[in-house]
Amino acid sequence: MDLELSSIEIKHIVKKLNEVLTGYYISNVYQIDENTILLKLHHSEKPEKSLVISAGKGLWLTRYMIEREESSGIAASLRRRIVRAKIIGTEQPEGERIAILNLSSSEGFFKLIGEFFGEGNIILTDKDDIIISALRKLKVRHREVLPRMKYSLPPYKGLNINSLNLDDLLPLLSSKLEASRWLGRNLSLSKKYVEEILARAEIDPKAIGMSLKKEDVQKILVKVKEVISLPEAEDAKPILLLENGRPVDAAPFEFLSYRGRDFKTFSSYLEALDELFNEEMKTSKYEINLKPLRQKIEEIEFALEEQRKLKESILIKAETLRNIAQKISSVAVSQGIQNLEAMMNRFSDLEIDDLKIIDNTLLVLIKGLKFEVDRKSSAMAFASQLYDEAKSLEKKSRAIESAEESLVAEKDALTKKLEEHETIAKSEETKVKREKAWFERYRWFITSDGLLAIGGRDSTSNSTIIRKHMKNNDIVFHADIPGSPFFILKDAGPKMEKSINETAQAVASYSRAWKEGFTSMDAYWVEPKQVKAQAPSGMYLPKGSFLIEGKKNYIKDLEIKIAIGVHQMEDGIAVMGGPPSAVKKNTLAYVVLEPDRDTIGKTAKKVKANLVKMAREKSKLFKAINLDDIARALPQSGGKIVSVGFGEQSI
């Protein structure tokens, strides 16, 4: 598949991404292949998203768990600069196959630019359009894409379809080109859109421009404007074009030119694109993986062909030598000519290519084979020499046949292996990412009593859980230290002592006490009615802070310790972090951590390595755990693993 998005499609995608992604934060950047990156996005109140940007192809949201490569180059550069940046908007320079993500972070304003024409590019600039890094450096006559240079758009090719008028299209009437070729060159539209415009205008794409009338050009103009507007129509039905059941193209509306062909309709073009590009990436991946096998088979086929030619040549030589030997023997017997030189001088039909006499030696050349014979030698002796050489050649031929049989057997085995790998590769389905539960946007765990506890990650989520998720029958927790998150124990009562103690330990461990290296901390709980969002007159409450009125129920000397475990949910597995007793009760396997100066990233890797090691036959399942999910379950800094264990949950 040779897939690329048109400016019409990119315009539609940019509009939808603006609606969906504005306000999201970039939590990580991954390398998918040499031209493709994946941005993992999170929001305090909305589900996580994954945005794929592929140079030369396009950008789309994916629901699939795409295999990643070790991040390097542009992905590593972006990870250093835009992780934790906020998406404040997406735009498209008019008529261009380019999309720009506008980002804001503590380090300033950035633009992440995806170019989807030709080989494409992924470029990061600052607020003044100065290039910071690029997937591909470029230096050509009309533009330069280099670090520290100002980013500029490529020269616009063709007519701007958004401001097209009749006068722009009238030159078609004097063209000797086919209508489809003329439009393709002058409108900078892909072949499928040119064909769709002509199909809607009821004009033969092969019609020569000079054969058309002004009325035809007017119809083309109307249909160009119609096609531009169709992606945004309320009744637009995005489609996925299929061949032999596999996706080969997608469109933001139903193409008339695709009627009679197999296709599926989707509720959104982004969904159709995800299916299309997921199939394309899967196919590309297995083609790359199977390339060495295909090359080996091609090498064997080449060797077999060369051996076939060699064997054929050898057998021809052997047959020629036998024929000459038989003629020499026959003449020697029938005519009594015994001297070889005399015989060769007398008979010219012996199929000898060349004969030279040097001193007392005859040099005989037959089919590239050179024979040196004494001038006094008998004809029968030479015939015997030719018979011996023919036998030697036939022996070589049999050796080649034996080698051929080995190569054919090797080729058959490799072909079978290739077919098996192709069958497996084509049948493998890319896993769909599990749709995370609403509470997974926050810190969360299940208590030993089976109750749900949720906690804030920052001031925004602190505010959200109190304002949106706190109900009258919940209990609210806070550590006795500035910078503590709020935790809510859902559907709990004062008598749920074990769950209360576990939630208190969680709020203490996820507070600033962890980063400060404390070993214990006090926490308290209150009823929802005691939590006030409004400060008294003259008092200011920072974002994420609330006023607590009335009695605080303290729990003293809570151990600063957490566990990270793998929790089995109905539709997959999730990473759960919380107090060790609760995590042990509700996970398949877990590790226990204490505060340490290690980084969150290094700790997350150690946690995953220990979980995978414990998993045994479930190691493949645990290997799929995302490091980001482990990092999000950790407190404000890294930790030291003090123990590991199998949980009480079962699959």
- The verdict on residue 156 lying in a domain is no
Q: Which of 49-58, 211-220, 334-343 has the lowest mean pLDDT?
A: 334-343
Where a domain ends, among 116, 145, 174? Answer: 145
Per residue in 511-540, pLDDT tens?
A: 999 999 999 999 999 999 999 887 776 677
Number of domains into which the chain is organized? 4
Distance of CA 325 to the CA centre of its chain: 68
Position 343 confidence tier, pLDDT thresholds 50, 70, 90: confident
Are both 260 and 346 inside the same structural domain?
Answer: no
Are both 374 and 343 inside the same structural domain?
Answer: yes
- The verdict on residue 43 lying in a domain is yes
Q: What is the DSSP letter of 151?
A: P
Are both 445 and 381 inside the same structural domain?
Answer: no
Per residue in 258-307, pLDDT tens?
A: 988 999 999 999 999 999 998 888 777 767 777 888 888 888 899 889 98
Are both 490 and 628 inside the same structural domain?
Answer: yes
- The verdict on residue 155 lying in a domain is no
Q: What was the pLDDT predicted at 544?
A: 67
Q: Which of 6-20, 139-153, 321-335, 570-584 has the lowest mean pLDDT?
A: 321-335
Radius of gyration (C-alpha) of the chain in whole angstroms: 38
Output b/e per residue, 242-258; b: 16+ Cβ within 10 A.
beeeebbbbbbbebebb
Q: How far apart are the C-alpha atoms of 337 and 377, rounded to whole Å?
A: 12
Q: How far apart are the C-alpha atoms of 233 and 8, rounded to whole Å?
A: 13
Are both 446 and 314 inside the same structural domain?
Answer: no
Are both 499 and 409 inside the same structural domain?
Answer: no
Q: Which of 117-131, 333-347, 376-390 has the lowest mean pLDDT?
A: 333-347
Are both 165 and 137 inside the same structural domain?
Answer: no
Given a contact cutoff of 8 angstroms between Cβ atoms, the answer to whether 256 and 202 are in contact is no
Residue 530: count of CB within 10 angstroms of its CB: 15
Q: What was the pLDDT predicted at 434?
A: 77
Decide if pLDDT at 495 tops 60.
yes
- Name the residue with higher pLDDT: 95 or 504: 504
Decide if pLDDT at 172 tops 60.
yes
Residue 240 is part of a domain; what is its CATH number? 1.10.8
Position 215 confidence tier, pLDDT thresholds 50, 70, 90: very high
Are both 231 and 379 inside the same structural domain?
Answer: no
Query: Residues of the chain with pLDDT > 70: what percent?
Result: 96
Whole-angstrom CA distances from 108 to 18, 89, 150 are 20, 15, 17
pTM recorded for the entire structure: 0.71
- Nearest CA to 253 out of 198, 197, 201, 202 is that of 197
Where a domain ends, among 145, 178, 208? Answer: 145
Position 392 confidence tier, pLDDT thresholds 50, 70, 90: very high
Whole-angstrom CA distances from 95 to 8, 144, 158, 253 are 8, 21, 10, 19
Q: Which domain holds residue 226?
A: 161-274
| Long-range CB pairs of 543-548, under 8 A, 24+ apart, other chains included | 543/459, 543/460, 543/463, 544/456, 544/458, 544/459, 544/460, 544/461, 544/462, 544/463, 545/459, 545/462, 546/466, 546/486, 548/478
Q: How far apart are the C-alpha atoms of 379 and 342, rounded to whole Å?
A: 9
Are both 77 and 190 inside the same structural domain?
Answer: no
- The verdict on residue 186 lying in a domain is yes
Are both 488 and 538 inside the same structural domain?
Answer: yes
- The verdict on residue 280 lying in a domain is no
Average pLDDT of the segment spanning 609-621: 76
Per residue in 626-647, pLDDT tens?
A: 888 999 999 989 999 999 999 9
Average pLDDT of the segment spanning 569-596: 93
Average pLDDT of the segment spanning 163-181: 93
Q: What was the pLDDT predicted at 618?
A: 61
Given a contact cutoff of 8 angstroms between Cβ atoms, the answer to whether 216 and 190 are in contact is no
Are both 516 and 642 inside the same structural domain?
Answer: yes
- The verdict on residue 286 lying in a domain is no
Given a contact cutoff of 8 angstroms between Cβ atoms, the answer to whether 88 and 32 are in contact is no
Q: How far apart are the C-alpha atoms of 198 and 206, rounded to whole Å?
A: 10
Given a contact cutoff of 8 angstroms between Cβ atoms, the answer to whether 65 and 13 are in contact is no
Decide if pLDDT at 554 tops 80.
yes
Are both 188 and 307 inside the same structural domain?
Answer: no
Position 1 confidence tier, pLDDT thresholds 50, 70, 90: very low
Where a domain ends, among 224, 240, 274? Answer: 274
Q: What was the pLDDT predicted at 619?
A: 60
Q: What was the pLDDT predicted at 25?
A: 95
Position 427 confidence tier, pLDDT thresholds 50, 70, 90: low
Q: What was the pLDDT predicted at 207?
A: 94
User: What average pLDDT is seen over the chain?
Assistant: 89
Per residue in 61-79, pLDDT tens?
A: 999 888 777 777 899 999 9
Q: How far apart are the C-alpha atoms of 10 and 275, rounded to whole Å?
A: 17
- The verdict on residue 281 lying in a domain is no
Q: What was the pLDDT predicted at 187?
A: 87
Q: How far apart are the C-alpha atoms of 488 and 503, rounded to whole Å?
A: 8
- Name the residue with higher pLDDT: 359 or 485: 485
Q: What was the pLDDT predicted at 286?
A: 67
Residue 126 is part of a domain; what is its CATH number? 2.30.310.10
Q: What is the DSSP letter of 97?
A: S
Position 553 confidence tier, pLDDT thresholds 50, 70, 90: very high
- The verdict on residue 153 lying in a domain is no
